[in-house]
Amino acid sequence: MNKKSFGVSFWMLLAALVLYLNYSQSKKTPDEQISYNMFRTYLDAGKIVAVEIVKDEFIKGSYRSEGKSVNFKTPYLDDSELIKDMQKNGVDYSGKTGGKWLSNLIFSFGPILLFILAWFIFATKMSGGSKQIFSFGKSRAQNAVKVETTFADVAGCDEVKDELVEIIAFLKNPKKFEKLGGRIPKGVILYGEPGTGKTLLARAIAGEANVPFFSASGSEFVEMFVGVGASRVRDLFQMAKAAAPAVIFVDEIDAVGRHRGAGLGGGHDEREQTLNQLLVGMDGFEPNTNVIVVAATNRPDILDPALLRPGRFDRHIHISKPNIKEREDILKVHAKKCKMAPDINLEVIARRTPGFVGSDLANIINESALLAARKDKDAIELVELEEAIDRVLAGPEKKSRVMRDSEKKIICYHESGHALVAKLTPDGDTVHKVSIIPRGPALGYTLQLPLEDRFIASKDELVNKIKTLLGGRAAEKIVFKQVSTGASNDLEKATEIAHSMVTQFGMSSRVGPAVFKDSQNSVFLGMDISKGSRISEKMKQIIDEEIRKIIIKAEREAEIVITKNRKYLDALAQELEKREMLDSDDLDKIMNGEKLAPIIEPPAKKENPSDAEIAEGNIKASPELKAGDEKKTHDNEQKETA
């Protein structure tokens, strides 16, 4: 909305408010209503002071009563003697030929009409034009035919691309499959964790298939007006059917495709009406319409079952996190846009980023480029990539955060406890880095990286994870005889793992091989209330006891490891306090009893170097030295030569 239209609307609303207040103020002092006979009586008695005659409506004026002037109002009658009598009694009178019905109408309905007009102007400007204010039911899908993204820009999901290539082949040459009796799929849903590349794959479909591509977001269908979402769905499907073969892409379909009947009230709402129209639209296509609906979501568990059945979304394609080879390919795609140092091996970076998705890897390359530019470098080096990984994992460094020496010592032993337990735990993940430099909300961190990608975990591996998490707390108890608040996040993660072991993975002998999910794990509150909890109070108590048992046992084992290797804990903490960061090689040297390389401090810059330092060649002579200083330096050099 521009400034001009805003100013017009503002002044119109202000005028309407003034008129309304004026009219309401005039209504606060109404005139006394008297009959016409009473008016004639007062006139004959000489009490009438002034009169205003409004023909065809009323007569109003004032009369004297007990020394006071009283306003009155009486109906108008066709009295031919009235004017003569008023002249006879010396009454000051006036008259109007027209009535006030028009002014009363303006005062009564003018503010409302002005408000409606101002709202019309505002809504028109916000909608982009006078025509668009009545086009709520039109689809806002974008026809993205000229998308430049192709499958060459998508790395790390070859199997998914093979499935989508088949969809594109359906669209380009449907007769190839129809002659064998095959039916073109009506819908494909891409689901996976955020950042795995679902929207990028959909854009690649548009770039690979030379067909109209209609893209829309799930939230675009839902509006404040009832029926707008369903109307937009109908319009979108009509557009795609007219342009067939075509592809419809609905991003974040969970905004409109949630499970029906999951609300507390159980009533019908706008979103469910939109979903019903979407179901009818997908199922209403003729067999050979050649229109495919591609949807993306990271919450497939909340979608309505009717939306996922064959005949609507025939294919469900899961996009998982990339493995080490796929991470390397993704890094290569993003590294093409940046200038990298020739000695950088992206395979090393891929090994150090387990669990990262495509968006995380793209962010690493971008952050490293920003760091290199900040340092005025010509290319991205390994140091920037390492710093970018730490930034993505834990946030930027906060070296300005000043800590007391006692707090710093506690953090050193805490992180050393994590590292020591992880190093001495069999089949544990490799400790890559230990740091006490604050990053984000963390005062320090211990980074563990697996040697290879893992897809399942055994009971011993989960217990070892809990033991490593509690290693920092155990070190504090042994060294300082008390614990601090620094282990709160460790306890939260350990409790979460233990809870999953007992309630989901069947790793407790007392609970047994059964899954127990309470109402807090469900996504719909309405369903939880209707179904109720399936866990008895006795079983809840057993679950709590088993979780506590696992955590206490893991903490005792961590304390035993630290007690037996106290000398290594002290050595790690001392070196960590000096250097603030230790890598895997430093940890191995400390565990083997070797000494680390001395810390090299950067040479301090001296503004006025002495003559002896310049003569010895430690400091380069300044071009601003005087001639006498240069001669003195030369003489010193000759003496030293002699």
Q: At what angle do helices 382-394 and 358-374 cross, to 10 degrees?
A: 120
Read off the amino acid at residue 339: K
Match 């980023």 to its residue by tokens.
353
Which residues make beta-bridge pairs with 583?
433
CA distance 405 to 635: 51
Report the alpha-carbon distance of residue 330 to residue 335 in Å, rounded: 9
- Kindly state the tokens that stand for 639: 């003496």
> For residue 581, what are its two tokens?
């960061």
Between CA 407 and CA 393 the distance in angstroms is 23
Q: Is 80 helix (H, G, I), strand (E, B) or coil?
A: coil
Q: Give 198's contacts (C-beta < 8 A, 6+ positions apart).
A: 190, 191, 192, 296, 297, 298, 319
Give the integer Cα–Cα distance in Å for 418 and 204: 44
**For the chain, how long is the longest CA-to-CA vector?**
145
Active-site positions?
415
Q: Which residues, in sequence order, are CB contacts of 132 under 8 Å at separation 6+?
A: 124
Q: Please list, in sequence order, all residues whose beta carbon lies within 8 angstroms of the beta carbon of residue 501, skipping any fewer than 6 positions away.
A: 459, 462, 507, 508, 550
- What does the alpha-carbon distance between residue 27 and residue 25 come to, in Å, rounded to a whole number? 5
Strand 430-435, strand 445-449: pairing? antiparallel
CA distances from 568 to 269, 571, 593 (A): 64, 5, 9
* Nearest alpha carbon to residue 226 among 280, 277, 271, 279: 271
Nearest in space to 84 (alpha carbons), one of 122, 56, 44, 116: 44
Beta bridge partners of 449: 430
Helices (H), 504-534: 525-531
Closest CA to 416 of 477, 471, 465, 490: 471
